[in-house]
Structure 1
Amino acid sequence: MNKRIIQVGLGAMGRYWAQVVRQHPTWEPVAYVDIDQNNLVQAAHEVGMDENFCFSDLDEALTKVEADALLDITPPDAHEKVSTTALKAGLHVLVEKPLADSLAAARRVIQVANENHKIFMVNQDYRFRPVPRTLCKLLNQGTIGKVGFVDVEFYKGPRFPGNFRESMDFPLLTDMCIHHFDLMRYLLQTDAKSIYVKSFQPSWSWFRGDSSVAMIIEMQNGTVITYGGSWVTKGNETPWCGNWRIEGEKGGLYWYDEKAYRSGQEAPLDSDELVQMSRTGIEYALDEFYQAIVENREPETSGRDNIKSLAMVFAAVDSAKSGRKVQLRSYLPE
């Protein structure tokens, strides 16, 4: 049986989500909410939503429309208000990363979800793809033995004219790196212990805040991760997921240009060697959200788990500001 969902946030990313939700077999979009009337009109036209079910106020939508869940695609500073309003109204919530704009806000939203016995899931769709699922499986099987170190490269040059990202103090760290932090935790099946960040601003950057970083991260199982990244590259770009080199005592696993490799093999893994997935990315996230509701279980990227990825973001920012290595103990929930 399909579940009814209200979507809040219909900017460029929100309209992409709206298209995916409309085509998804288990979700029925029943209302759109956005404070920008132009976004609402454009989304209604592109996706086919009746304008009578387009609202500029969430409370009005909750009063006039029956729904099972809410999809929050608003900017990070609106996540707490939107998510808690929906949870208190009895709706399950799927929120786009990051969970919230502060750890305190994240903890409050998780508490509201717990108090109201509702599913609260954060979208971390980079892990919902065949290559990372396959690498995680191979690592769990001990294919390369104990992992010693990992190297991650991420280089992109996106433009966000007029977008909130261009005015952030640390746009790469606060908006993008959580994808890679979450992948680190997922692939290695452990949490971060410490992080050291050197953030900087190339002279040609079009962002107000630091757009490039070099990091050293130590995980709780002893694995050391080096990370180099920039959002203002003028050279060759990596995929959004980055390029990964995972070194173990028996060999290596590599994730380059969206393909998986084993050490000693020039060709990537064949498609039949990868974990088979009927849906990937945000389509899979919608699947997981739906199944968690139906089965009354915690989703893979629940708020309770995802706050550990979010903690890495704020620890990284503090390290960038102080120039010192930061321990994650004080950031992680007890």
Structure 2
Amino acid sequence: MSQKLIHIGVGGRGKWPINMVPNRDDFDTVGLVDIREDHLETAMGVTGLRESACFRTLDQALNKVACNAVVVATPPALHTEHCLMALRAGKHVLVEKPFTKSLADSKMLVDEAEKHGVTICVSQNAKYNSASVTMNRLIREEAYGKACFGMHIALSWRKKGVHHSGEDTHSYLWERGIHDFDTMRFRFADTPKRMWAHDFNPPWSPYMAGAGAHAWIEFEGGATCGYLCCFESHKKAGMSRIDVEGGTLELEGGKLTLKHRERDEAEEIPLDECPDSTTVIMNKWSDYLRKGIEPEFSGRNNLATVAMVEGCGVASEEGRVVDFKQYLEEG
């Protein structure tokens, strides 16, 4: 039997699940919620739903349409409100990243889901690209030895201006760091132990604060990873690398290579074949709802990613190294 879905927020990041559901037999869209008529019209065209299945608020939809689950793709500041409403109505939830804008709210939603006998998941799909999946496997299997240290760099300039994090205190961390840290812990196949960060805002930045961030993460297994990212660099740059005992695994321009100091040329590593990242999200969410197989992106598991982002913000504000386990439990 298919899961009946209400989607709230059907434009922007809300488009991908709307577009995907018609091609699946395990999900069925039964309701659409948005405040913009153009978003609703486009979604009606994709789903085949009539105007009677379209609503301006989630409570209206929940009162009028029978469903099993709600897909939340509204602006991040509204995630807590919309997830809570769905959970208290006894519906499963899939919410776009970031889970919420605070660790306390995210923990509260996990508790609410358990209280009402439903599940909550966070659509953090970036880690499921083929390069990250390959790196995760190589690190877990120690194919080239144990991971020792790494670096992630992503510098860019947003010509179209700020996105949803423009007024945030730690804008890069909450908008992109939430993906980067989630992917980082997936690639290292490990749990953070300690973290430090310093975020900054170039004088020419249109962001209120924190358009860039330096960070350092130490993992339980002993590996460390540096981090330098910014929305407001004049020149683009990007790479991710992990040094292991047998060489340097480096991802740049979609190509994964292994370079050993005693070899002149780097060896290109074939990438694992895997489905599109959003397909992985839907497949694993379906398995969770039907079979109870909890995915890496369940609300409970995603608390670690939220704690990394918020904890690095605290490290930057207070100028100290933050104990990850303590912050996850007490933050």
TM-score normalised by the chain length of structure 2: 0.91
Matches within 5 A, 1:153-192: 153-158=153-158, 163-192=163-192
Q: Residues 74, 12 of structure 1: CA spacing in aligned structure 2 closer, same or farther, 3 A cutoff?
A: same
Name the residue aligned to 1:151. 151
User: For residues 38-61 of structure 1, what are the alpha-carbon distances to aligned partners after superposition, in whole Å with 9 as ceiling and x for unaligned?
Assistant: 533443356543221111121221
1:235 aligns with 2:255: no
CA distance in 2, matches of 1:262, 1:14: 37
Query: 1:11 Cα deviation (Å)?
Result: 3.3
Matches within 5 A, 1:7-18: 7-18=7-18
Matches within 5 A, 1:284-323: 284-323=280-319
Query: 1:226 Cα deviation (Å)?
Result: 0.7
CA distance in 1, matches of 2:190, 2:156: 27
Query: 1:162 Cα deviation (Å)?
Result: 7.3
Name the residue aligned to 1:260. 256
User: For residues 243-271 of structure 1, what are the alpha-carbon distances to aligned partners after superposition, in whole Å with 9 as ceiling and x for unaligned?
Assistant: 2110012222122112222224535323x
| Count of paired positions | 326
CA distance in 2, matches of 1:109, 1:211: 28
**Which one-letter code corresponds to 1:28 in the other structure?**
D
Name the residue aligned to 2:100. 100
Matches within 5 A, 1:204-243: 204-238=204-238, 243=239
**Which one-letter code corresponds to 2:143 in the other structure?**
T
Contact 1:144 1:247 (8 Å CA) reproduced: no
1:324 aligns with 2:298: no
CA distance in 1, matches of 2:19, 2:157: 26
User: For residues 171-200 of structure 1, what are the alpha-carbon distances to aligned partners after superposition, in whole Å with 9 as ceiling and x for unaligned?
Assistant: 101121011111121122222122221211
1:117 aligns with 2:117: yes
Q: Residues 49, 206 of structure 1: CA spacing in aligned structure 2 closer, same or farther, 3 A cutoff?
A: farther
CA-based RMSD: 2.1
Query: 1:161 Cα deviation (Å)?
Result: 5.1
Query: 1:296 Cα deviation (Å)?
Result: 1.8
Unaligned regions of 5+ residues in structure 2, if any? none
CA distance in 2, matches of 1:135, 1:6: 35
**Which one-letter code corresponds to 1:212 in the other structure?**
G
SS in 1 for 2:93: strand
Query: 1:88 Cα deviation (Å)?
Result: 2.3
CA distance in 2, matches of 1:53, 1:164: 28
Name the residue aligned to 1:83. 83
Name the residue aligned to 1:276. 273
CA distance in 2, matches of 1:199, 1:257: 26
User: For residues 182-240 of structure 1, what are the alpha-carbon distances to aligned partners after superposition, in whole Å with 9 as ceiling and x for unaligned?
Assistant: 112112222212222121112222222220111121112211111110111221243xx
Name the residue aligned to 1:130. 130
Contact 2:157 2:236 (8 Å CA) reproduced: no
Identity %: 27
Unaligned regions of 5+ residues in structure 1, if any? none
**Which one-letter code corresponds to 1:39 in the other structure?**
H
1:333 aligns with 2:312: no
Contact 1:68 1:91 (8 Å CA) reproduced: yes
Name the residue aligned to 1:52. 52
CA distance in 1, matches of 2:20, 2:234: 32
Query: 1:84 Cα deviation (Å)?
Result: 2.1
SS in 2 for 1:235: strand
CA distance in 1, matches of 2:25, 2:309: 34
Contact 1:197 1:214 (8 Å CA) reproduced: yes
Q: Residues 187, 49 of structure 1: CA spacing in aligned structure 2 closer, same or farther, 3 A cutoff?
A: same
**Which one-letter code corresponds to 1:261 in the other structure?**
T
Contact 2:153 2:237 (8 Å CA) reproduced: no
**Which one-letter code corresponds to 2:278 in the other structure?**
I
**Which one-letter code corresponds to 2:235 in the other structure?**
G
CA distance in 2, matches of 1:155, 1:281: 23
SS in 2 for 1:121: strand
The answer to which of 244-253 and 106-115 deviates more is: 244-253
Contact 1:216 1:227 (8 Å CA) reproduced: yes
Contact 1:144 1:253 (8 Å CA) reproduced: no
SS in 2 for 1:164: coil
TM-score normalised by the chain length of structure 1: 0.90
SS in 2 for 1:236: strand
CA distance in 1, matches of 2:185, 2:236: 27
Contact 1:147 1:223 (8 Å CA) reproduced: yes
SS in 1 for 2:165: helix
CA distance in 1, matches of 2:329, 2:34: 32
CA distance in 1, matches of 2:325, 2:153: 26
Contact 1:160 1:166 (8 Å CA) reproduced: no
**Which one-letter code corresponds to 1:275 in the other structure?**
D
1:43 aligns with 2:43: yes
**Which one-letter code corresponds to 2:253 in the other structure?**
D
Query: 1:26 Cα deviation (Å)?
Result: 3.0
Contact 2:92 2:119 (8 Å CA) reproduced: yes
